Amino acid sequence: MNIRLRQDAIVRSLRRNGTSTISALASEVGASRRTVLRDIGALRDQGFIIHAEPGRGGGLQLDPQSVQTAPRLSIVEVFALLISVASMRAAGYLPFSKLADAGLAKIEKALPSDKVRDLRHFLDCLYVGELAPQVDLSNMGTMDPVLLPAFETAFLQRLHLRFSYRDAKGETSSRYVEPQAMLILPPLWYLVAWDPARDDFRHFRMDRISKPVCVQGATFRRRNIVFQDGVRPVKRIRR
């Protein structure tokens, strides 16, 4: 269990049980007492009010009104929210768009400057448009949840991406590409990448991509992509 998931589990346990001990929390999250103590200190730094009763029978208690004062959303989570709103706009259905924009603006303003920079770089790679009516959607699958974190690393660090790809005929191949953009044509999502083996751009449906791996080592340059009419970049955030 990574740090964030462990700390979330500690907060949930304290909210659910009212009180707990360091030993009980350590057993519940599968960590040492020392690690849980560090997590408690980190949670307090984030704004959670956690009381500790001294003595062998003492325990920890989370203030019922306690809330975190620092945002804990990762870049990929904020990006997921932004692209969800953008894809709904592209589909022509977003009944509460002003409320959604206001909520996202609050999240963006609370982000530290380094995360804002990364988010802007990530958004620079995002485009939306409308899907051609003749595209067959009968075999549309689900997207692997590991795709977005892998794309975040690949796009921000300019790393090559290796993955398995299943084409329209159901044949699977291994691809090694330079990820250049994400294209949303609701309800389909595409990875737009430069394929060195074919010396050209390729569009990969994201519901057909699996087992993505960022390849450490040589980086690549950003290439100019010429999209069809109607495709537009997502509006960049303001700070």
pLDDT in tens, 40-72: 988 887 778 898 876 555 589 888 776 655 556
* pLDDT for position 18: 81
Residue 191 pLDDT: 97
What confidence score (pLDDT) does residue 124 get? 86
Quote the CA–CA distance of 202 and 56 in Å, as a whole number. Answer: 63
Per-residue pLDDT of the chain (239 residues; tens, 9 = 90+): 678 788 889 988 988 888 899 999 999 999 999 999 999 988 887 778 898 876 555 589 888 776 655 556 777 788 788 777 766 666 666 667 677 777 777 777 767 777 778 888 888 889 988 888 888 888 899 998 889 889 989 998 999 999 999 998 999 999 999 999 999 888 899 999 999 999 999 999 999 999 999 999 889 999 999 998 888 887 644 44
Beta strand pairing call for 159-166 and 209-219:
antiparallel
The predicted pLDDT at position 210 comes to 95
Contact between 26 and 7 (Cβ < 8 Å):
no
Can you tell me the distance from the alpha carbon of 239 to that of 222, in angstroms, rounded to the nearest whole number?
24
CA-wise closest residue to 120 among 223, 224, 236: 236
Query: Residue 217: what pLDDT?
Result: 87
What is the per-residue DSSP string for 57-111?
Answer: T--EEE-TT---SS----HHHHHHHHHHHHHHHHTT--TTHHHHHHHHHHHHHHS
Residue 128 CB neighbours (<10 A) = 22
- CB 195 within 8 Å of CB 208: no
| Residue 175 · residue 162 · CB < 8 Å | yes
pTM attached to this predicted model? 0.66
